[in-house]
Structure 1
Amino acid sequence: MTTKYRIKDLPKDERPREKLVKKGANALKLEELLAILLRTGTKTKNVLKLAEDIVSKYNKNRLKNISFEELRNIYGVGPTKAVQILAAIELGERLFKPKEEKEIYIHSPKDVLKETSHLKENKKENFVVLYLDARNKLIAKETVSIGTINASLIHPREVFEPAIRELAVQIILVHNHPSGDPEPSEDDLAMTKRLVETGKILGIDVIDHIIIAKSKFFSFKERGLI
């Protein structure tokens, strides 16, 4: 049976737990805190090296928004460790989040409409993109274009640059039809297809495109078009 390298296999002055007890949690590096949660390494690397590799692969913002599936894909992180890490991240978020900060989660077209209700009465077409993390939390909202919207005018770079900058893993496209008819035009269909394909290449999912009219809306996802 293969024995995993554990924290207690490290020299005493390098053990994160002992360091935390002696100097306090603030004295520990991010990888040392992560090593305490991981507890054991793999057959080829001790737990501190495993934690260092994870931190080097995912910067602080990406680690904060990491998903269960991403953690499970890391060699040496099983489902139990993945759950413990996610629980610790969420605990820290809730304890130290400023009280005035309101988190917004997008789970349905109704949630999207709440965040883009101003588009209903707009007399010009506006193209807005909602940027979400792996847990569907809204992390950014950008107006990409104002005026006539067609497939040739909406460039994928303008849509996906903020996603890369904000470390979003999924996006929702939103635009309005001042005419009052939310049915997609040929340009809407072509533009959506182009952006979905670009998202697949970049690893950023386009999970819906919602067209808003005065009293109605059209969801590409609900109609099976995405």
Structure 2
Amino acid sequence: MIDTRRERLQRVLTPLVTMPQFSAAQAKSVCDSSPAYVTSTIKELVRDGYLERTVADDESFYRWRLPGQFEPERWIEQQIHGDQITETPEQERPRERLLRDGAASLSNADLLAILIRVGVRKQSAVAGGRLIANRFADRLQDLPRCFREDLREISATVTKVSYAQIMAGIELGRRVASAERDHQRSTTKITSSQAAIEFCSQEFARLASDAVQEEFHIVTLDTKHKPIHTHRITVGTLDASLVHPREVFRPAIRDSASALLLVHNHPSGDPTPSREDHQVTEQLTDAGRLLGISVLDHIVVARDRCLSIRETA
């Protein structure tokens, strides 16, 4: 019976994973299985958070929530054997895989399962981790702001203990990342446009990937051109008439900075500087000369790459 069920699930999943979006009728037409079995399989995929139902032009469609990340064979194994930890081969359990292959090899769902630790009746820690990971797949940055009740609505495995463990893990990760950034700043010297690009691509990675508006920041530098601090100056479309030198250089003077980097993002993903970007650079460079604070470069960060305005001038 196990082989028969495996084959039936494979006949449904094989064509569906190649389709980013499909209706129930389209799924039934391409799957070599009974319409009722296709429907029940789709419902299971929705329940597990891999598919989501949408409506377009008064017609219902299903689309994959995690394109390219869904693993059909693993999901089939879970359907056949269940995903209780005790039912999973020891070498495939999240904790054992972490010890064997390292934490970086685990998915977000696996990491959450380790933090949850213990499942509840009818739902394992693995299932709970998967449900939470799928819900926050495209907005992981929102997870730290959730209350226990928010996560409890997603999975019953989020008890007081498991919620505390998840939040403690997130906070520890933040502190480690902050310590790494501080160490990087203490050892980094911005001596070229390429060094500025490399620093900003790491320091402002989240700004490049997640921000929906333009943000203007500065990086203050000491006499050896080592980073001191970063400061956000404005949010909104960059315009020379809106970025006042007083607002830019006030934190630089407070930091006793010798020089600074200008940084802003392009949410469009294209880092090509605009005419306004060049105007802002020139205006602030001139103001810096009067104050004795050098503007070394202006870096535009975007999803795919960072770009130096000095190099494009």
Are 1:208 and 2:306 counterparts? Answer: no
Aligned to 1:35: none
Are 1:143 and 2:235 counterparts? Answer: no
Question: Equivalents in 2 of 1:195, 1:202: separation in Å?
Answer: 11
Out of 197, 200, 220, the residue aligned to residue 309 of structure 2 is 220
Matches within 5 A, 1:60-209: 102=183, 103-107=186-190, 108=195, 109-121=197-209, 122-209=211-298
- Residues matched between the structures, number: 125
Cα deviation, 1:145-166, whole Å, max 9, x if unaligned, reads 1122211111101110111111
Aligned to 1:13: none
Residues 101 and 209 of structure 1, relative CA distance in 2, 3 Å threshold: closer
Question: Equivalents in 1 of 2:305, 2:248: separation in Å?
Answer: 25
Cα deviation, 1:120-149, whole Å, max 9, x if unaligned, reads 121111101000001121111100011222
Question: Equivalents in 2 of 1:166, 1:172: separation in Å?
Answer: 13
Question: Equivalents in 1 of 2:232, 2:239: separation in Å?
Answer: 15
SS of the aligned residue for 1:207 comes to strand
TM-score (normalizing by structure 1):
0.53
Gap regions ≥5 residues in structure 1: 1-99
Higher relative contact order (CA 8 A, sep 6+): 1
Larger radius of gyration between Structure 1 and Structure 2: 2
Once the 2 structures are TM-superposed, how far is the Cα of residue 221 of structure 1 from its aligned partner?
Answer: 2.6
Question: Equivalents in 1 of 2:308, 2:299: separation in Å?
Answer: 5
Question: Equivalents in 2 of 1:212, 1:185: separation in Å?
Answer: 13
Query: Which structure is higher in helix share?
Result: 2
Question: Equivalents in 1 of 2:228, 2:219: separation in Å?
Answer: 8
Once the 2 structures are TM-superposed, how far is the Cα of residue 101 of structure 1 from its aligned partner?
Answer: 6.1
TM-score (normalizing by structure 2):
0.38
Residues 185 and 165 of structure 1, relative CA distance in 2, 3 Å threshold: same
Q: Could you tell me which amino acid in structure 1 is paired with residue 199 of structure 2?
A: D
Q: Percent identity?
A: 40
Q: Which shifted more, 131-140 or 213-222?
A: 213-222
Contact 2:278 2:309 in 1 (8 A): no
Runs of 4+ in 1 over 3 A off after TM superposition: none
Residues 120 and 101 of structure 1, relative CA distance in 2, 3 Å threshold: closer
Matches within 5 A, 1:9-28: none
Cα deviation, 1:21-78, whole Å, max 9, x if unaligned, reads xxxxxxxxxxxxxxxxxxxxxxxxxxxxxxxxxxxxxxxxxxxxxxxxxxxxxxxxxx
Cα deviation, 1:153-186, whole Å, max 9, x if unaligned, reads 1110111011111100000000000111111111
Gap regions ≥5 residues in structure 2: 1-180
Question: Equivalents in 2 of 1:104, 1:149: separation in Å?
Answer: 31
Question: Equivalents in 1 of 2:265, 2:182: separation in Å?
Answer: 28
Question: Equivalents in 2 of 1:153, 1:196: separation in Å?
Answer: 16
Once the 2 structures are TM-superposed, how far is the Cα of residue 104 of structure 1 from its aligned partner?
Answer: 4.7
Q: Indicate the RMSD between aligned Cα atoms, in angstroms.
A: 1.6
SS of the aligned residue for 1:120 comes to helix
Contact 2:298 2:309 in 1 (8 A): yes
